[in-house]
Structure 1
């Protein structure tokens, strides 16, 4: 039996999770989060987000230990997000993890944030060998596993899909509670008129910045006239962006001859995206695997789980290398725990 504590803080969510592996059995002991929420129309700055993480990480850690009913002596390894993500928040969490590793005299493992999402998704859904669509505020990638690496088949050429949705939510002055993307999803459900937007798929890659510029111009020019509604714009934006993702996901499925799709990352919680993906997969006699917000949105549990998988293969991060890497690619990680 091995127990890991994981610390996540690559963006505005500070997460602490504790997980236990006993043979092939995995038990979730604690999965707590504290989200930094800014006023409507505002994003979150790295410096302010880092301050939030520093202010609450000890409190959330104590709550997680109490929830899991474990003490520091019961913890076998400390795991933290090494990257990718925002520099300030990542540093805050890495510093806390390093300090606890010294205080508790425990080994430490730096985890790739994207790999954490994938491994948590695989564990919860029991997906065997799926094509992975990883969609979040900072990442948009189509991934498939091969020869102990997660290979990137396609990705965004500019901004991530979550960033595109968040920035449009700021244009509409939507609330950031619980998240801008969630509130766009609710508005989209009430949209009735589809407005044609640019559709930018380039081979296996996608581009979102031009679409954002176009819809921002539409919002500024047409909303005051009353010719379109915010709900119609949210509906049209979601449909267009998600159609692009479905297209490149289907192409990847054909390429690797897979009939399974695993949705991970915060945007993967979107019900409409899941519906569109299921419709495509059904036409290929395939299935879609997705998790709810407990495991889909950034959390410390996924870091603990992925770190523990690596730790059980004999891997630990040398203390002098327990730094952060803002541009830590998914395909850089050796996936030693898979055949």
Structure 2
């Protein structure tokens, strides 16, 4: 029997998940939400995490009916992410490790998303589209590494959505991207936006700049509604993601696509990707907000796979980093 605690807090969500032999026993989380028009500042986000991390830990242990003396390892997000929130969670993980003599496992945030999604969906060896607030990557596994075939060359797709939500002064509750998705469902008029795919890479800053300059004027003139602008943004950026993912599928000879990361919850993105997969006689795998959005169980899942291979992190190596690439990790737990 192997029990792993996973601790995630790389951005505005803090979550703690507990797994027993790969089975999720608990997975509570809390989100730091700011007023409309504002993003979240790292230092303020860290204060939020500091204020509720022990409460979430207690909730996770009670729900799982597990005590700390039964835990075999504590997995925590090593990076990438925002420095202050990462440090907050890593400090708690280190403290618990020292107090209870429990091994630590530093987990790559992106790998956590991938392995959680693979476990939940049963996807075998898919082409992965990883889309979140801080990351946008097209990934495929080869020879003990998750190789990045394409990525954003500037801002992540989730960051693009978040910043556009600020332009429209949309609520951040439950998330800017969700509120854009709901408005986009009512949009009818498509605004032509810059479409920027460069080989396997994508760029979103030009689209955002275009909208920053014109959105309010278009709304004032009544040419487009907020719903139309949200619809136009989604259709454009998601088409870019589907195009690069399809190209990676063709290169790898893959028949599966797995979407993970917070933006992966978006039903329109899933629909567009599913259409592409069906046209290629392939299959789409995706999850809902329980596992797409940052959570502790995904860190526990990656930690569980690493622990089974004998991977742990010494205290002196339990530092965190804002830059920790997906393809920096040696994936020793896969034998395919």
Q: Same fold (TM over 0.5)?
A: yes
User: Which runs of structure 2 are paired with 1:105-116 in the superposition (5 Å)?
Assistant: 105-116=101-112
User: What is the Cα deviation at residue 160 of structure 1?
Assistant: 0.1
User: What is the Cα deviation at residue 335 of structure 1?
Assistant: 0.5
What does residue 164 of structure 1 align with? 160
User: What is the Cα deviation at residue 225 of structure 1?
Assistant: 1.6
* Partner SS, residue 336 of structure 1: coil
- Could you tell me which of 193, 196, 208 is aligned with 1:197? 193
User: Which runs of structure 2 are paired with 1:215-254 in the superposition (5 Å)?
Assistant: 215-254=211-250
What does residue 13 of structure 1 align with? 13
What does residue 317 of structure 2 align with? 321
Aligned residues between the structures = 335
* Partner SS, residue 223 of structure 1: helix
User: What is the Cα deviation at residue 129 of structure 1?
Assistant: 0.1
1:93 aligns with 2:80: no
User: What is the Cα deviation at residue 218 of structure 1?
Assistant: 1.8
1:182 aligns with 2:184: no
What does residue 208 of structure 2 align with? 212
In 2, Cα distance between equivalents of 1:326 and 1:79: 17
What does residue 152 of structure 1 align with? 148
Q: 4+ residue stretches of structure 1 with deviation over 3 A?
A: none
1:80 aligns with 2:76: yes
Residues 291-335 of structure 1: CA deviation (Å, up to 9, x unaligned):
111111000000011011101101101110100011000000010
Q: Which moved more, 1:105-114 or 1:225-234?
A: 225-234
* Partner SS, residue 307 of structure 1: helix
In 1, Cα distance between equivalents of 2:96 and 2:18: 14
In 1, Cα distance between equivalents of 2:296 and 2:186: 34
In 1, Cα distance between equivalents of 2:261 and 2:311: 25
In 2, Cα distance between equivalents of 1:69 and 1:116: 24
User: What is the Cα deviation at residue 202 of structure 1?
Assistant: 0.1
In 2, Cα distance between equivalents of 1:232 and 1:213: 17
In 2, Cα distance between equivalents of 1:130 and 1:214: 34
User: What is the Cα deviation at residue 220 of structure 1?
Assistant: 2.3
In 2, Cα distance between equivalents of 1:201 and 1:73: 51
Residues 2-38 of structure 1: CA deviation (Å, up to 9, x unaligned):
01001000000000000011xxxx3110001010000
What does residue 114 of structure 2 align with? 118
User: What is the Cα deviation at residue 229 of structure 1?
Assistant: 0.6
- Structure 2 unmatched runs, 5+: none
